[in-house]
Amino acid sequence: MGLGIVEKIIKEHLLKGKMISGEEITLKIDQTLTQDATGTMAYLQFEALGISKIKTELAVSYVDHNTIQTGFENADDHRYLQTAACKYGAYFSKAGNGICHQVHLERFAEPGKTLLGSDSHTPTAGGMGMLAIGAGGLDVAVAMGTCEYTMRYPKIIRINLEGKLNPWINAKDIILTILKMFGTKGNVGTIIEYGGSGLESLDVPERATITNMGAELGITTSIFPSDRLTKRFLLSQNRGDQWKELKADSDARYEKVININLAEIEPMLACPHSPGNVAPVKELIGKKVDQVIIGSCTNSSYNDLKTVAHIVKGHRIPQNMSFVVAPGSRQVLKMIADDGSLSTLINAGARIAECVCGFCIGNSHAPATGAVSIRTSNRNFKGRCGTQSASVFLSSPETAAACALSGVIYDPRDLKELVFPSFALPKKFHVDDTMIILPAPESKKTEIYKGPNIGEPPKNKPLFENINGKIAIKVGDEITTDHIIPAGSRLKYRSNIEKYSQFVFEGIGPSFPKQCKDNKSDGYSNIIVAGLSYGQGSSREHAAICPMYLGVKAVIAKSIERIHRTNLINFGILPLIFIKPDDYQHLNAGDIVEIRNIEKIITENAKLVLENKTKNVDIELKYDFTEKEKQIIVSGGLLNYIKRKDK
């Protein structure tokens, strides 16, 4: 029987385990990436592992998230990361060089290789035919030191994109359509492999827009074949020698095959407050828009920005509109500067932002109270933009530009006086890697710098035999990592867990940290109760580290998302699931609960019962730990586990 692309890459990288859906496998990791918001903790943990040198073929440390620098903290973190990269052997991409996923695609991604990144949008590199997976910083630190990553063998589904997109329709509309079909819940443990005749007209940056937002589906990753267009893209980035062909065998088998006719796709919008809340633009036409932002790792490529410039050329955006353009990388910025698009955008009234995450992570360009913002980014969770009352819609650059021009939600197909800008990718991109610092030779290695904001990674104790707990908070469905630990203005505390922990559940339960402290001093462990899809969104392990720091020992939910579940385990917090979802109603904040003999139960795969002492009811919970996960939990987290193993 033939193999698909995912199977081929996994087969070539399989270190342990069987290629059977659900089995635990260990993969060889070729490349890693970190960004500054998760990277400081990842490198602190790498240091704590006591490994002297990075072992993967390539590791890149990017600075793209925390660049606001309203105090010394961010700049100190950047310096720490630069010195850590120098000492351990990573490439260092300086602030201003671009967003990690955009730069990685341009300069480092290689077909057929594996990439583990401490950012949930790492699968962007799947557009290049890489098996690219997002994980917590500690998993990435371990991969840098051991070249290994353990996960469950995925379910692989195939989506055939057939035909051709109509004018004014962008790859973003494809992934929004897929999000409409699949939603953001219930896709855990799946990898999507793309194929079909439509690939002939989708260039690598367009494919990367699609794989980027696979993160919003909650899947492990998604991937495109490596073909003629991949080769052309690599050649245009002066990296033709890194091309290799990668295609599925014609008799490859998949769990499911879905066909999508590209000609039927129309402009789409993800409506507030979820990327899965998708509707056709035509249903929302005429709604007043206050802000339009083009950028983020989803849609900030050269062609995206050139297209936007073409649409607004010769016009001025309305006086009450705030129009922001953030190029994805320094390469993109230089190229729009050289071809005149930048000046077109400036003439139209655009505010040009840095080539960083910025607005997308909520640390700048927060909309006004109650404003409507159209963005080309990938997440519109309530409050993520920095304004709780704002309504954020996600769209293609074409739709966003049409809205910027008209001041209302507008279908780009109605821009009748404009010729559709079908730009081919340039034959040569502007290649200048001078803002990437190469790993230093042995003789030039410097000491690591740590500013006063950088603390030690917190330590955890091994699992208690009995959890005598109190429910510190009960939350609903689809609680994202942005709800658990906000980014935006709080981002600068990423390297200072004690301080950052004060903001856990800031938007939905601001008394949580105090509650945890009180429960702890009364002798209780803290418990979080949640509904469906807890921990959606980012890979930020702070959503587990900070609760761990506050004494949380278990999360009991109807379901928990993949990266967050692993992060909980990595920091010694039990992810437990209701067997009967209705039992959710039998647990409330303040209830005193007990679980006895946990280590014995999980090692013997026995029945796990939680006793709610306040309500006098027993609740059966399920868990599904691999052998390694059991040992990690019992040790009190991955760092303790590794140290114990090394003794």
Residues that bind ligand MIC (CB under 6 A): 37-38, 65, 119-121, 361, 379, 487, 537-540
Query: Binds 234, which of ligand SF4, ligand MIC, none (CB < 5 to 8 A, cut-off by type)?
Result: none
The two beta strands, 391-394 and 436-437, are unpaired
Binder of residue 377, out of ligand SF4, ligand MIC, none (CB less than 5 to 8 A by kind): ligand SF4
Minimum CB separation of residue 127 from ligand MIC in Å reads: 17
Distance CA(240)–CA(75), nearest Å, equals 36
By CB atoms closer than 10 A (0-12, 13-18, 19+), residue 358 is: buried
The distance of closest approach from Cβ of residue 51 to ligand MIC in the complex, given in angstroms and rounded to an integer, is 23
99 binds, among ligand MIC, ligand SF4, none (CB under 5 to 8 A by kind): ligand SF4
Closest C-alpha to 5, from 257, 206, 286, 226: 226
Q: Is residue 496 classed exposed, middle or buried when 0-12, 13-18 and 19+ CB atoms within 10 A define those classes?
A: middle
Pair of tokens at residue 267: 């402009």
**641 token code pair:** 């586990």
Determine if 297 is a binding residue for ligand SF4 (CB under 6 A).
Answer: yes
Between 78 and 540, whose beta carbon lies closer to ligand MIC? 540
Q: Which of 5, 29, 41, 99 contacts ligand SF4 by CB under 6 A?
A: 99
Helix, strand, coil shares of the chain as percentages rounded to 5? 35, 20, 45
> Which one of ligand SF4, ligand MIC, none interacts with residue 237, CB within 5 to 8 A by kind?
none
Least distance CB 76 / ligand MIC (angstroms)? 17
Q: Which is nearer to ligand MIC, 553 or 565 (CB)?
A: 565
Residue 618 Ramachandran class (φ > 0 left, ψ -120 to 50 alpha, else beta): beta
Pick the binder of ligand SF4 from 360, 394, 532, 608 (CB under 6 A).
Answer: 360
> CA 129, CA 112: separation in Å to the nearest integer?
6
Residue 44 phi/psi, 5° resolution?
Answer: -65, -40
* Residue 378 binding ligand SF4, by CB under 6 A: yes
Q: Is 239 left (phi over 0), alpha (psi -120 to 50) or beta?
A: alpha
209 belongs to the binding site for ligand SF4 (CB under 6 A): no
- 540's contact among ligand SF4, ligand MIC, none, with CB below 5 to 8 A by partner kind, is ligand MIC
The site partner of 558 among ligand SF4, ligand MIC, none (C-beta below 5 to 8 Å per kind) is none
Give the Cα separation of 153 and 156 in Å (integer).
9
Q: How far is the CB of 531 from ligand MIC (least distance, A)?
A: 21
Q: Which does 94 bind (CB under 5 to 8 A by kind): ligand MIC, ligand SF4, none?
A: none
Structure tokens at 585: 């109603």
Q: Distance (Å, rounded) from C-alpha 390 to C-alpha 380? A: 10
Residue 446: both structure tokens together: 């410097």
Of 158-166, 261-269, 357-365, 384-392: span binding ligand SF4 (CB under 6 A): 357-365
**In this complex, which beta carbon is closest to ligand SF4, that of residue 341 or of residue 378?**
378
Q: Does 377 bind ligand SF4 (CB under 6 A)?
A: yes
Minimum distance of ligand MIC from residue 36's CB (angstroms)? 8
CB of 481 to ligand SF4, least distance (A): 11
Q: Which does residue 296 touch among ligand MIC, ligand SF4, none (CB within 5 to 8 A, set by kind)?
A: ligand SF4
User: Residue 109 Cβ, how far from ligand MIC at the closest point, in Å?
Assistant: 17
- Choosing from 34, 74, 222, 296, the residue that interacts with ligand SF4 (CB under 6 A) is 296
Of residues 38 and 570, the one with the C-beta less far from ligand MIC: 38
Per rule CB under 6 A, is residue 540 in the interface with ligand SF4?
no
Handedness of CA 569, 573, 579, 580 (dihedral sign): negative
512 three-class SS: helix
Which residue, 361 or 568, is less far from ligand MIC as judged by CB? 361
Phi then psi for residue 259, to 5 deg, are -110, 135
Length of the chain: 647
Report the C-alpha gap between 304 and 178 in whole angstroms: 20
3-state secondary structure of 481: helix
When asked if residue 10 is in the footprint of ligand SF4 (CB under 6 A), the reply is no
Tokens standing for residue 15: 């270190």
Q: Which two tokens stand for residue 497?
A: 């867990």
Token pair 């709080």 is found at 490
Nearest to ligand SF4 of 380, 640 (CB atom) = 380
Structure token pair of residue 9: 């890459």
Identity of the residue, 269 or 360, whose beta carbon is nearer to ligand SF4 in the bound complex:
360
Q: Examine residue 361 and tell whether it contacts ligand SF4 (CB under 6 A).
A: yes
Q: At what angle do helices 204-212 and 100-107 cross, to 10 degrees?
A: 140
* Residues 443-482 within binding reach of ligand SF4 (CB under 6 A): none
C-alpha dihedral (499, 550, 555, 221), degrees to nearest 10: 30
Q: Alpha-carbon distance 477 to 462, whole Å?
A: 30
Q: Which does 38 bind (CB under 5 to 8 A by kind): ligand SF4, ligand MIC, none?
A: ligand MIC
Q: Which stretch binds ligand SF4 (CB under 6 A): 18-26, 354-362, 593-601, 603-611?
A: 354-362
CB of 611 to ligand SF4, least distance (A): 41
Q: Least Å distance between CB 408 and ligand MIC?
A: 28
Residues 116-155 that bind ligand SF4 (CB under 6 A): 119, 121
Compute how many residues bind ligand SF4; rule: CB under 6 A: 10
The yes or no reply on residue 357 touching ligand SF4 (CB under 6 A) is: yes
Question: For residues 361-382, b (16+ Cβ closer than 10 Å) or e, as one string?
Answer: bbbbbbbeeebbbbbbbbbbbb
If binding is defined by CB under 6 A, does position 5 make contact with ligand SF4? no
- Local structure of 85: helix, strand or coil: helix
Q: Distances in Å between the alpha carbon of 270 and those of 124, 354, 386?
A: 19, 25, 18
Residue number with CB closer to ligand MIC (559 or 567): 567
Residue 400 beta carbon to ligand SF4: minimum distance, rounded to whole angstroms: 15
Find where tokens 């089995």 sit. Answer: 23
The residue (of 139 and 411) whose beta carbon lies closer to ligand SF4 is 139
Residues that bind ligand SF4 (CB under 6 A): 99, 119, 121, 296-297, 357, 360-361, 377-378
